[in-house]
């Protein structure tokens, strides 16, 4: 990595696309809340990882903020009650991932009272042990709010001070999505405070907030928050050029540092951690106010919605309630998408609930989709290679997957694909490439190949930790030996000096007083 500070000079990642923004249409109005739904549908799994231990049963009355499940380790993320009410059922319900699937959900019927459970805040987070801060964040149910849904506590664990710079990612570069921009406009102080808390948990010395160069209003709100909450001046705001998919973790790190995260590696290998600005604000709420993650900002936008806007939605709110709060559908709506037009997932139903990773509901009309375009054979034009930000060979991956040669696709680093959709966007044959990549990853996961790769990554990590530990021990021993040597050298020097003084005294003989 270059000797420059993170963000001091900007670099370029390979590929990518310049796209029309379409963001400001949802930023004209301040944040609003939809009406309380008749029922909230809470999937037990709203993150990457196993489901936690269920703590409630049908018929139980619960309070707002009460844990409904318990995390037994960092890979599990608990779910909390977004409001007070009664658990009416535990049943299968449509969810966004995998597409066209159902998952076990808690059905919570609100009582309209909004009665909070007892919460625990940290009294002085600046003096709190980092491990205790991470435990507090884990108990609050935080998962990455940028869409990846990786458990936040797991991302914070590791050797304290291994990370020197925390990057807060506010560069949501996909068209239409503006939930992070609205958060930075309306709650910049929460982001700054949360970033300081996360930096303490990591042992990081610097924090960089990366924003797009087209976020004009954020230019004013963030500096004001820094002036109030960052007296030690550890923050830097960096504006990055709006090129999709610059908001991807690996791409943003390359832009800010010029270095690439190693294949099968982590940002920590470069001394970096990257978290979404929404995650930072949620960390602040969890630590300072004791509030678990029970709501998030969702952009509702697109050509097929009457009043595009950003809404603060309780987790578990059905998509149809958000559509109603944004004025309802407008025109001949063809498709609902969770996320943006490039990497989003089609929603099979408007009954699907908002979860921790739901950043945008995009409403598209028939003329806004490519569904009428016939899929043609690949012509090997190479356009997909040119725009791939992960330096992959999309057309070769497609051919292997089409031939069901999944291991061969894995050998071409299929899992390095970030599913940004650039390749499909430029494909003149209209091949749904990302759908193929998602399918291939699903097959490989079922075969346990990803588990084997994860095991190898764990072994490499453990070997690295062992090596670092041995190096620290060797340094400690060398330091002790050096100190001992200096000490023994000092004693010898004293003895020599004493001998010299005795010799001088003898050679000088008795003084004049003695002669008399």
Q: pLDDT tens digits for 404-455? A: 999 999 999 999 999 999 999 999 999 999 999 999 999 998 888 656 666 6
Weakest mean pLDDT among 22-31, 180-189, 480-489:
480-489
Tens of pLDDT, residue by residue over 87-145, are: 999 999 999 977 778 999 999 999 999 999 999 999 999 999 999 999 999 999 999 99
The first and second tokens of residue 283, run together, are 């960390």
Percent of the chain, pLDDT > 70? 89
Weakest mean pLDDT among 181-195, 242-256, 448-462:
448-462
Bridge partners of 275? Answer: 168
Tens of pLDDT, residue by residue over 318-368, are: 999 999 999 999 988 999 999 999 999 999 999 999 999 999 999 999 888
What mean pLDDT, rounded, does the chain reach?
Answer: 90
Bridge partners of 338? Answer: 345, 361
Topology (CATH level 3) of domain 297-368: Ubiquitin-like (UB roll) (3.10.20)
Comparing 448 with 26, which gets the higher pLDDT? 26
Q: What would the mean pLDDT of 464-493 be, rounded to a whole number?
A: 69
pTM: 0.85
Q: What pLDDT, on a 0 to 100 scale, did the predictor assign at position 4?
A: 66
Going from N- to C-terminal start, the domains of the chain cover 24-296, 297-368, 383-447
Q: Residue 206 and residue 271: Cα distance in Å, rounded?
A: 11
Q: What pLDDT, on a 0 to 100 scale, did the predictor assign at position 513?
A: 41
The β-bridge relationship of strands 206-212 and 165-170 is parallel
pLDDT at 77 over 90: yes
Q: Residue 434 and residue 425: Cα distance in Å, rounded?
A: 10
Among the listed residues 446, 337, 415, the one whose alpha carbon sits nearest the alpha carbon of residue 96 = 337
pLDDT at 514 over 50: no
Q: What pLDDT, on a 0 to 100 scale, did the predictor assign at position 481?
A: 77
Burial (CB count within 10 angstroms: exposed 0-12, middle 13-18, buried 19+), residue 422 = buried
pLDDT at 33 over 80: yes
pLDDT at 219 over 90: no
The β-bridge relationship of strands 345-347 and 333-338 is antiparallel
Among the listed residues 129, 516, 457, the one whose alpha carbon sits nearest the alpha carbon of residue 269 = 457
CATH 3.40.50.11540 fits domain 24-296: yes
Contacts (Cβ under 8 Å, ≥6 apart) of 293: 80, 140, 141, 142, 143, 282, 285, 286, 315, 356
Do 39 and 314 form a contact (C-beta atoms < 8 A)?
no
Among the listed residues 514, 39, 80, 66, the one whose alpha carbon sits nearest the alpha carbon of residue 296 = 80
Q: Residue 477 and residue 503: Cα distance in Å, rounded?
A: 39
Residue-wise over 166-201: b if at least 16 C-beta within 10 A, else e? bbbbbbbbbbbbbbbbbbbbbbbbbbbbbbbbbbbb
Tens of pLDDT, residue by residue over 268-284, are: 999 999 999 999 999 99
């Amino acid at each position: 990595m270059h000797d420059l500070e993170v963000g001091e000079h900007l670099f370029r990642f390979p590929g990518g696309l310049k796209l029309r923004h379409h963001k400001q249409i949802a930023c004209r109005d301040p944040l609003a809340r939809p009406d309380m739904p008749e029922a909230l549908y809470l999937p037990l799994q709203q993150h990457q990882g196993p489901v936690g231990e269920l703590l409630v049963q049908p018929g139980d009355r619960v309070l707002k903020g009460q844990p409904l499940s318990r995390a037994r380790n960092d890979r599990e993320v608990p779910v909390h009650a977004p409001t007070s009410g009664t658990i009416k059922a535990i049943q299968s319900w449509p969810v966004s991932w995998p597409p066209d699937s159902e998952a076990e959900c808690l059905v919570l019927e609100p009582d309209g009272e909004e009665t909070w459970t007892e919460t625990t805040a940290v009294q002085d987070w600046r003096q709190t042990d980092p491990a205790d801060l991470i435990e507090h964040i884990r108990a609050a149910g935080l998962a990455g709010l940028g869409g990846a849904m990786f458990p936040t506590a797991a991302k914070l664990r590791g050797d304290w001070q291994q990370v020197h710079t925390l990057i807060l990612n506010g560069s949501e570069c996909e068209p239409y999505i503006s939930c992070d921009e609205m958060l930075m406009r309306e709650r910049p102080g929460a982001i700054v405070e949360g970033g300081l808390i996360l930096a303490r948990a990591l042992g990081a010395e610097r924090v960089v907030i990366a924003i797009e160069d087209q976020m004009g209003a954020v230019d004013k709100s963030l500096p004001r928050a820094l002036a109030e909450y960052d007296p030690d001046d550890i923050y830097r705001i960096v504006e990055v050029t709006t090129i999709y998919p610059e908001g991807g973790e690996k791409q943003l790190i390359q832009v800010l540092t010029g270095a690439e995260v190693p294949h099968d590696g982590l940002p920590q290998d470069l001394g970096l951690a990257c978290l979404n600005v929404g995650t930072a604000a949620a960390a602040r709420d969890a630590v300072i106010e004791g509030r678990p993650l029970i709501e998030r900002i969702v952009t509702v936008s697109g050509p097929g919605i009457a009043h595009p806007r950003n809404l603060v939605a309780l987790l578990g709110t059905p998509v149809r309630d958000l559509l109603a709060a944004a004025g309802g559908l407008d025109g001949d709506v063809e498709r609902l998408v969770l996320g943006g037009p490039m990497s989003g997932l089609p929603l099979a139903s408007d009954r699907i609930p908002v979860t921790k990773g739901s950043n945008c509901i995009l409403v598209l009309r028939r003329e806004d989709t490519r569904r009428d375009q016939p899929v043609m054979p690949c012509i090997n034009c190479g356009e997909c290679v040119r725009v791939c930000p992960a330096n992959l060979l999309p057309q070769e991956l497609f051919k292997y997957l089409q031939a069901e040669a999944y291991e061969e696709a894995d050998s071409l680093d299929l899992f390095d694909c970030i599913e940004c959709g650039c390749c499909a966007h430029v494909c003149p044959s209209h091949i749904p490439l990302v759908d193929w990549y998602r399918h291939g990853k699903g097959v490989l996961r079922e075969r346990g190949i990803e588990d084997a790769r994860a095991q190898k990554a764990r072994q490499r990590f453990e070997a690295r930790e062992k090596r670092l530990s041995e190096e620290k021990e060797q340094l400690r021993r060398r330091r002790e030996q050096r100190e001992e040597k200096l000490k023994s050298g000092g004693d010898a020097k004293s003895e020599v000096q004493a001998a010299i003084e005795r010799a001088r005294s003898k050679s000088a003989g008795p003084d004049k007083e003695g002669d008399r």
